[in-house]
Amino acid sequence: MLSVLGNTTYRRLFAAQVVALIGTGLLTVALGLLAYDRAGGNAGAVLGTALTVKMFAYVGLAPVINALAARWPTKRVLIGADMVRAAMALSLPFITDAWQIYVAVFLLQSASATFTPAFQSLIPTVLPDERDYTRALSLSRLAYDLETLASPAIAALLLTVLDYGNLFLGTVFGFLSSAAMVAISALPKRAPAAVPQASLWHRTTLGARIFWRNRRLRSLLALNLVVAAPTALVLVNTVVYVREVLLRPDTDLALALACFGMGSMTVALSAPRVLDRFGDRAVMLAGAAVIPIALAGAAALSLGPAGSGWWLLLGLWLLLGAACAAILTPSPRLLRDASTEDTRPYVFTAQFSLSHACYILTYPLAGWAGAAAGLDRAAMALAIVAIIASAGAFLSWPRHADTPATEAAGEEQHGEQPALRRTTPRP
């Protein structure tokens, strides 16, 4: 897996991703403390609103920003986004009112909605070999999982000797370091394409239209919802399971979340070998089949005697993490196969936006249903969502799908060439 780091450009881009992720992790901790400092007992409402603002920035702005930035060199887009994120992080310690937090978070997350899809769409060009690209996807998934474990630990260590406001400086350093790594990378240049000459509306909706015309990408739409169901349950309700259902100490919350991350890391490490042997369809649909079963187990967990089921919770969270990674790790391969170099930024941006839209449904379902009706009904509702979405994924991704070019027939518009390249898809 580490052999892909021999590619100098990818190594620098991967380093940029890692330092930016650490900076984002420090920001999460610092933002929570800032919200409590500014709003006291209303900190939860402030953070909830900030997270909602984040999702709307991801869903609503990402396609528009990508369409506007399509005319600009990728390196300038990435560096500019990092600089905006650094500036917003630097402004946060000086905020005095809650509404200012919302504005800063909106601008920061809008920059992230610009950076992430552009960065992800660049990697297939840097690593054109399929095996190298798969290894890069595994490394990326591993980086995300390690960040969820490392950033809180780093933040806790820094807070023993520093005020929480200094965590924002760590965030700024992460984003500036990311910009520096991108600046010294020799990025491939894209040739002028016909797509940017189309109207803004056409470019904004191009990625979503490609998704709708491609049967495997329609399946990926459903799989995004499958992943959102357990992720929402774990992130929103793990603390309730640990403290109220299982009567465990606060330290066990970190252990439960770590099990979810360990399951994901295990699959990420084995993904290159497993995907070479079984292919994208078998691995991703297997993950989709496991998730509803594990969610049903989580629903039953809260019905047992109080304080029992700790080891079952850890096992279920480990299984859910592995199943989510089985879907998330290979998904960029589908995006790469369904796009050309010209349309790739639009397809990756559509995936970024549409996948985050799923959380607008599952986050409230996990939180509000859990508070109003109990964890068992919340987990069961999410299991039903996952079952329906899994069925849609299975039906949309037959064993012998049409070629991307066939699925994209009729995409020509404004004088463009068909959006998808003529290749035979992997099973």
**pLDDT tens digits, 203-259:** 778 888 888 888 999 999 999 999 999 998 888 888 788 888 888 886 687 788 888
Taking residue 205's Cβ as centre, other Cβ atoms within 10 Å add up to 16
Within this chain, do residues 208 and 180 fall inside the same structural domain, yes or no? no
Residue 420, SS3 per DSSP: coil
The pair of three-digit structure tokens given for residue 416, joined into one six-digit string: 């463009």
Within this chain, do residues 239 and 357 fall inside the same structural domain, yes or no? yes
Q: For a pLDDT cut of 90, what percent of the chain falls above it?
A: 25
For the stretch 263-277, pLDDT in tens is 988 898 888 889 989
**Has residue 418 been placed in a domain?**
no
Q: What is the pLDDT of residue 403?
A: 44
Section 83-105 average pLDDT? 87
Section 89-117 average pLDDT? 85
Within this chain, do residues 208 and 179 fall inside the same structural domain, yes or no? no
Within this chain, do residues 124 and 267 fall inside the same structural domain, yes or no? no
Section 341-345 average pLDDT? 81
Rounded distance between C-alpha atoms, residue 398 and residue 402, angstroms: 9
Q: What is the CATH number of the domain that holds 2?
A: 1.20.1250.20
Within this chain, do residues 184 and 229 fall inside the same structural domain, yes or no? no
**Has residue 427 been placed in a domain?**
no
Q: What is the pLDDT of residue 106?
A: 87
Which range of residues forms the domain containing residue 251?
198-410
Angle between helices 130-159 and 310-328 (to 10 degrees): 140
Of 168, 190, 212, the last residue of a domain is 190
For the stretch 31-72, pLDDT in tens is 777 876 777 656 556 666 777 778 888 887 777 777 777 678
Cβ neighbours for 241, distance < 8 A, ≥ 6 positions apart: 256, 298, 301, 302, 313, 375
**Has residue 422 been placed in a domain?**
no
Q: What is the pLDDT of residue 283?
A: 95
Residue 326 banded pLDDT, cuts 50, 70, 90: very high
Rounded distance between C-alpha atoms, residue 164 and residue 28, angstroms: 11
Rounded distance between C-alpha atoms, residue 364 and residue 372, angstroms: 11
φ, ψ of residue 97 in degrees (nearest 5)? -125, 155
Within this chain, do residues 252 and 144 fall inside the same structural domain, yes or no? no
Cα-to-chain-centroid distance, residue 319: 19
Q: How many domains are there within the chain?
A: 2
Within this chain, do residues 140 and 276 fall inside the same structural domain, yes or no? no
Q: What is the pLDDT of residue 200?
A: 66
pLDDT at 282 over 80: yes
Cβ neighbours for 373, distance < 8 A, ≥ 6 positions apart: none
**Has residue 251 been placed in a domain?**
yes
Rounded distance between C-alpha atoms, residue 347 and residue 336, angstroms: 8
**Has residue 185 been placed in a domain?**
yes
pLDDT at 290 over 70: yes
Within this chain, do residues 17 and 34 fall inside the same structural domain, yes or no? yes
Q: For a pLDDT cut of 70, what percent of the chain falls above it?
A: 84
Q: How far apart are the first and last CA of the chain?
A: 23
**Has residue 426 been placed in a domain?**
no
Section 185-189 average pLDDT? 79
Of 171, 190, 209, the last residue of a domain is 190
Out of 38-47, 249-258, 304-313, 325-334, which region has the weakest mean confidence (pLDDT)?
38-47
Stronger pLDDT, 141 or 312, i.e. the higher one? 312
Within this chain, do residues 254 and 395 fall inside the same structural domain, yes or no? yes
Residue 327 banded pLDDT, cuts 50, 70, 90: very high
Owner of token pair 């992997």: 426
Stronger pLDDT, 401 or 311, i.e. the higher one? 311
Within this chain, do residues 148 and 250 fall inside the same structural domain, yes or no? no
User: What is residue 414's DSSP assignment?
Assistant: T
Residue 414 banded pLDDT, cuts 50, 70, 90: very low
For the stretch 346-404, pLDDT in tens is 888 888 888 888 988 888 888 888 878 888 999 999 999 999 999 999 999 877 654 44
Section 329-340 average pLDDT? 89
Within this chain, do residues 20 and 161 fall inside the same structural domain, yes or no? yes
**Has residue 157 been placed in a domain?**
yes
Mean pLDDT of the chain: 81
Burial readout 107-132 (b: 16 or more C-beta within 10 A, e: otherwise): bbbbbbbbbbbbbbbbbbbbbeeeeb
Stronger pLDDT, 181 or 149, i.e. the higher one? 181
* Cβ proximity of 98 and 110 under 8 Å: no
Q: What is the pLDDT of residue 191?
A: 53
Within this chain, do residues 125 and 230 fall inside the same structural domain, yes or no? no
* C-alpha torsion angle, residues 303, 305, 309, 310 (rounded to 10): 120
**Has residue 423 been placed in a domain?**
no
Q: Tell me the CA distances in angstroms from 336 to 69, 79, 189, 331, one per residue in order.
A: 20, 23, 17, 9
